[in-house]
A and B are shown apart, each in its own frame.
Chain A
Amino acid sequence: MPFRISVDTGGTFTDVVVTDAAGRFTIGKALTDRQRAFASIEAGLAVAAAQLGTAAAALLADTAMFLYGTTRATNGIVERKTARTAFLTTAGFPDILLLKEGGKAEPHNLQMEYPDPYIPRRYTFEVPERINAEGGVESVLDETAVRRVLETFPRRGIEAVAVCLLWSIANPAHELRVGELIAKILPKLPFTLSHQLNPILREYRRASSTAIDASLKPLMQKYLSDLETDLRRAGYANDILVSTSFGGVMHLADVVKRPIYLVKSGPAMAPIAGLAYVEAEGLPNNVIVCDAGGTTFDVSLVRDGAVEYSRDTWLGPQWTGDNLGMASVAVHSIGAGGGSIAWVDSGGLLRVGPQSAGSEPGPACYGRGGDYPTVTDAAVVLGYFDPAHFLGGRMTLDEAAARRVIKGVADALGQTLERAAWAVVAVASENMIQAIKELTINEGIDPSDSALIGGGGAGGLNIVPIAQELGCRTVLGPRTAGALSASGMQFSDIITEAGASKLTASDDFDFAGVNRALVDIENRLEEFADRLRARGFKDLEKRYFVEARYRFQVWELEINVPGSRFANQAQIEALVHEFHRVHERVFAVHDENNAVEFLNWRGRLIAKVNAPTLEPTKALATREAAPDRMRRCYFGNAQVDTAIYLGDKLPVGAIVNGPAIIEEDTSTLVIYPGAIARVSPGGRYLVTPPQENQR
């Protein structure tokens, strides 16, 4: 069982990465099939298998682990193409999702449209019941009223139900009963109960996660179960692990119950790859990771050697987007990529995106009926993509089609064909630069302190001018750039969490109660651990955390808990000391005289997956560096003779001076005039942008 397969299904391409026992990476890429994920996986696998001298079926049969990520859930939310979901809420409180938590950006800008709630108000239904803060019943659940509401659902075309009642976290009885009634009256309707999904205080956040989770269930449960069926049918018998927004992977059977974890699945893996690469290269550990696919451009960060997380995750803008209600890897996405469509607006201004030609029909040069000018078509006109050598020669591009559609843009702008193509790439770059600035400069992070990683099939097209504009001194181009997120999965751990609520305080610590909660968490993690051990995972680690606050505070800080049992007062004092220390570090003050309250206890099981080693292969060191051929490419104002190199023929230490193009099977790295690329000992490209424009 030497192989591990990771797959990332994006909006346009499906990336497949296969690693063998020696840690060698083989990449396959295929256009994404919107109907059935496995169709494109199979196509990508076939490409990889051919390189390994085998067939897809044989490869699958010889694979120990299958890792999977997809942007399907995120795209569904962004495009509002999730299920028609009903929101059941406590009577008297219909507007929790509409009012959110208040707050807005731009103090003096009142000319902003107030955002729509995640679930329209016409699909919001009030349930007569009320529980109070201590879990007491203020008014009993009116089951007849619930039945009456549920019975209207088939007629109204409701496809999923989100149930979030006030104080269900203190007493879940009413939510559970509503769940039973749904299961009984509408047995096929998927639903989510807020206290089971995300037992946190604050009705908006809990309701929002519940609404998002429920709305994804019909779509993602079918999607993932189809994938599993197809994989089993194709002869794969081992673990299927799915990448989650926590930056780890989970077993498919676990994630299918909680599709909210699939938000940012895939893109959350790109910074994991970025971290692995800079560590292997010994580069400074601040990295901006860009991943440009066909449809979206994702930016994520590694700061001081750690992947950047956001505790407060908004899908869309802060305050006015939809709150995920839980932490996730910080990923900023915009609609920009190889498939982005270029158009000229009514004022004569050239615009690129956010509309994308996707994979069906795709850019005009794909020859699948696409008739819109895209960034990829512009790259063909400029000579960066060689029609005969695209995707390692497996796909022939229709150059005439590319020239035809870009000609339309050129005519509208009154420019030459090449100038227009150059402008399309420049405008796309500008959009990407803005996206990077939002995550860096807007947070006060100077991008010139970081290395830039250009990932994605279209990432290498313009990563050098982007770096130049941002003042980044180093661009790292991994040879696996074409499949960055899928590569990241190869380095990711299996992460599972379990939690329990137990409120106690340092001045009256409930040893028995806390230990019961910790035992419960430990048992649940152990169940997981047993299954993982049975599957051959040996390197398991459990960590414990607690959310704590000073008495009367409202928000909690998370601190480490050293073990899973408390036996004596000295341990409590150590925990309180740790809280004071963390509070002082994060907030610059602590309060020695105040009791500390402990609320939510959490355990995390981390199963180390044997990540591939990232040593250079010896074969690379012996080859000669010579261009494969010369081509005429256009850079800004003229056609120039440009050396085209094949990536797998470039030895370690080779220097490539721009203008040049390095072709990999699944990506293309354009070295602009004045830039210099060097092949690192790790076999990656380190590009220095043109110096004269450096700050």
Chain B
Amino acid sequence: MNVKQTPPPTREFDPILMAVLANRLNAIVREMANTLLKTARSAVLAVVRDFSCSIVTGDNRLLCPGEGLPVHIFGSSLQSQSMCDLHDDLAPGDAFLHNDPYLGNTHPADHMIMVPVFIDGVHLFTTCAKAHQADCGNSIPSTYHAYAKDIYEEGALIFPCVRVQKNFQDVNDIIRMCKRRIRVPEQWYGDYLAEIGSARIGERRLIELTKRYGIETIQAFTEQWLSYSERRMVDAIKKMAPGKLSNTTVYDPLPPILPDGLPIRVDIAVDPTAGYIDVDLTHNADNMAFGLNESVACATSNAMCGVFNCMDPDVPHNAGSFARVRVHLRDGCITGVPKFPHSVSMATTNIGDRIVNVTQAAFAAIGDGHGLAEGAIGMGAGAGVISGLDWRRDGPFINQEWLITNGGPATPTTDGWLNYGLPVAAGLMYRGSVEVDESKYPILVKHLRVIAGGGGAGRFRGAPGSELVYGPRHDPMTVVISCDGQVNPPQGVRGGHAGPPAATYKLKRDGSAEKLPGVVECRLEPGEWVQGFDAGGGGYGSPLERDPARVCRDVLERWETVPRAHDIYGVVLTGSADDDSLAVDVNATAARREVLAR
């Protein structure tokens, strides 16, 4: 019963009603997200919010991304498109499970649930809930398989948009397949239900909304809202200077595949006259036999994200504004399009994070006030996937931790955002709670503290990361870590310094520390610990231009250290932070800065 939509009538739309409806869609997506957060069972979803909800139109245009993770969102419409292409019998009560990265999904660990929403027999919307699973049946106990030479070695169960509910009931064949192959099946099923609930809540609310305002009003609103968003984006691009920008960043070495690391290049063309920005990712290496290749959804999303990070944030984010950014990809390229069966196990993060960074930093070349520094990269120990046995429940456990901080990039007007996480998450994800993690998993966190002086110096400084130590309590535990940024840290722009690199250590029983490589599967016995240092964000502008009062406050509030204030910022302080007497020696600072400037 897939009825074609009638073209909506065009008429002037009441601006207040337009604002009401746009916000109502946001509120619906918020309620979907709240449902997923509050009902999920793995900490990566229920605490950390590594998921996104969105609403797509029946003809597959992204209408409302809510406040979902950018990397999850831009591709929702690719997946709903494949739902329409593959199924000509869509009906109320259907739900689809889609994690196929060759058909529009991000990477196999992201299970997307889609519900086609019917009103009076018309497929008007699709509600989407995409969540990063604690496990997806990979050949190793991690959803990130850096060394998978192809999808077969990776091992994830792939669902190319299959019907998982019919008449609002589970299709149990599919559920049984998942329960057989996904580690800790009850945790997976609970998370699956949370996604279904989220998509169904969205369905209920959209039906209520359409009944309240009428199908014609809603269709007219949809067109007006998308064209308004496109106009806003065109206006924003028209204010930019025309030109071509090119930038390269280098992904960390990954022996033996990448002994020297991997340059990631972006070429950008800004055309204010036509109102388009073109982002070209085609000048990159061919696909490689590892899990770091980009999917189409991830490459597109991450390039878009780098662009939108540099635009007026008030421009709405949907198919209307996205139409004005054209991302160019190449078949068989490591930054998309992936050639089957190359693995894209880690497409959402690692090289994906580098694409966001290289794109947003490219805009800094336009001039002061433009672009951003690079943000902290690398899923270090605080984002490790831990697994083993929990003696308290006499059963297995697996989960991705999220106790990293990873400092955000400095901007032309502010210091970096502290809880940044990753470029692809941009501070939106929540932090794990030490107490929740320790109650759900058999670990003990020894300490977790923000690193003083841990951000790249600059007129505005990058945010610092944190240092974390944790380990198993009674039984051995496996930690799988897929870190970047240990060799090539986040770069500053316009004279700003790079942030410090990330690092991982294994702390042994004899008290010694063993440095671990970026990507590692590490087994810890009770009494052993893993220690992680986050990378810090890059700085913006010269540190010698930073307001000395801000440097003084940084030292007082433990963001910076006295030696760094003196050596890097050229700020001479008197008094002590311990009795609130810290102050700037203005003359000595001027002299010191003069010396450093030479």
A residues within 8 Å of B by Cβ? 91-95, 98-114, 116, 120-122, 132-134, 138, 155-156, 166-167, 201-204, 437, 441-444, 446, 471, 550, 552-555, 557, 583, 586-589, 591, 594, 695
Contact = CB atoms under 8 A, between A and B. Distances in A.
Provide the main secondary structure of the chain A interface. Answer: loop
A167 B68 CA distance: 32
A114 B463 contact: yes
Contacts of B23: 441-444
A201 B439 contact: yes
B447 A92 contact: yes
B428 A552 contact: no
B548 interface: no
Contact of A95 (B40, B412, B466): B466
A553 B417 CA distance: 30
B430 interface: yes
B87 interface: no
B433 A108 contact: no
Contact of B308 (A108, A437, A594): A108
Contact of B197 (A104, A167, A587): A587
Contacts of A591: 190, 193
B433 A110 contact: no
A110 B426 contact: yes
Given A95-B449, A695-B17, A111 B466 contact: no
B47 to A, nearest CB: 6
A587 B426 contact: no
A552 B186 contact: yes
A93 B449 contact: yes
Contacts of B421: 102
A95 B451 CA distance: 10
A103 B49 contact: yes
Nearest to A104: B427
A103 B426 contact: no
Contacts of A166: 434-435
Nearest to A156: B579
Contacts of B14: 695
Interface stretch (B3-11, B136-144, B259-267, B403-411): B403-411
Given A93-B447, A122-B577, A108 B26 contact: no
B427 A95 contact: no
17 contacts: A93-B449, A98-B418, A101-B431, A102-B419, A103-B427, A104-B427, A107-B317, A111-B414, A116-B557, A122-B577, A132-B444, A156-B580, A202-B436, A442-B23, A443-B23, A444-B24, A695-B16
Interface string B358-384: 000000000000001001000000000
Contacts of B187: 552
Given A108-B311, A111-B413, A114-B463, 5 more contacts: A92-B446, A93-B448, A103-B430, A166-B435, A557-B38
B438 A132 contact: yes
B35 A587 contact: yes
B434 A93 contact: yes
Contact of B313 (A92, A93, A108, A114): A108
Given A110-B426, A553-B39, A133 B438 contact: yes
Contact of B418 (A94, A106, A114): A114
Given A553-B39, A555-B38, A108 B317 contact: yes
Interface residues of B, number: 90
A587 B435 contact: no
Contacts of B37: 555
B248 to A, nearest CB: 22
B82 interface: no
Contact of B435 (A116, A202, A557): A202
B313 A106 contact: yes
Contact of A588 (B197, B436, B444): B197
Given A99-B418, A587-B39, A133 B426 contact: no
Nearest 6 pairs of A and B residues by beta carbon:
A92-B447, A444-B27, A444-B24, A109-B313, A554-B46, A589-B197
A112 B190 contact: no
B200 to A, nearest CB: 4
A201 B47 CA distance: 12
A114 B197 contact: no
B114 to A, nearest CB: 15
Contacts of B521: none
Contact of B190 (A110, A553, A695): A553
A552 B392 CA distance: 13
B28 interface: yes
Nearest to B407: A114
A589 B408 contact: no
A559 B65 CA distance: 32
Given A133-B438, A202-B436, A589-B196, A102 B556 contact: no
Interface in B563-580: 577-580
Nearest to A169: B435
Contacts of B445: 92
B305 interface: yes
Contacts of A167: 435, 438
Contacts of A552: 41, 186-187, 190, 440
Interface in B168-201: 186-187, 190, 193-194, 196-198, 200-201
B405 A99 contact: yes
Nearest to A591: B193
A680 B193 CA distance: 51
Nearest to A116: B557
A132 to B, nearest CB: 6
A111 B201 CA distance: 33
A589 B577 CA distance: 54
Given A122-B557, A204-B433, A588 B204 contact: yes
